Amino acid sequence: MRTNALVPELAISDWRVSRAFYCDLIGFQVAYERPEEGFSFLTLGDAQLMIDQIGLGRTFELAEAPMERPFGRGLNLQILVPQVEPILERLARADVPLYLPLEEKWYRRDDHEVGNRQFVVADPDGYLLRLFEDLGERPAGAE
């Protein structure tokens, strides 16, 4: 396995709960883990993510900024998936609410637009995940 140049590591409150959320509902797979530290390295396609339970392994905390839920305020992680529909179905069966509902969104990139079919869901600690499937490109301003 090749590690990406940037791999977020999320401090989490309950390793088992977060691991189940990411693997069973979102579709990540465990590349490797250290359960005694509450740590997992997860992959989904080319996406890579680490989860690490607060207080078991090394926790990066600042005295002037205590860990309070929701974690990751001001940050959302965009994750490319082959299809959003199976993930939406698993989340609905588990009664996990969406932070932002499914939408098709086009973003200008220079002289063209790129499309995402996307939604946002919060993980058990409040980290926001923007899961999307690629809709391709179109000329800027096309509707």
pLDDT band at residue 25 using 50, 70 and 90 as cut-offs: very high
pLDDT digits (tens, 9 = 90+) for 42-69: 999 999 999 999 888 767 666 666 677 7
Q: Where are the beta strands (DSSP E) in 4-127?
A: 9-12, 29-34, 39-44, 47-53, 76-80, 100-109, 112-122
Q: Any bridge partners for residue 41, and if so which?
A: 32, 50
Query: How many domains are contained in the chain?
Result: 1
Domain annotation covers residue 127: yes
**Cα 88–53–91 angle (5° rounding)?**
10
Positive/negative CA dihedral, 100, 40, 18, 63: negative
pLDDT digits (tens, 9 = 90+) for 62-87: 666 667 777 888 889 999 999 999 99
Domain annotation covers residue 66: no
The pTM is what?
0.89
Tokens of 53: 């339970």
Domain annotation covers residue 92: yes
Domain annotation covers residue 114: yes
pLDDT at 133: 97
Domain annotation covers residue 116: yes
CATH number of the domain that 110 lies in? 3.10.180.10
Domain annotation covers residue 2: no
Amino acid at 108: R
Domain that holds residue 117: 9-59+75-139
Rg, Å, the chain Cα set: 16
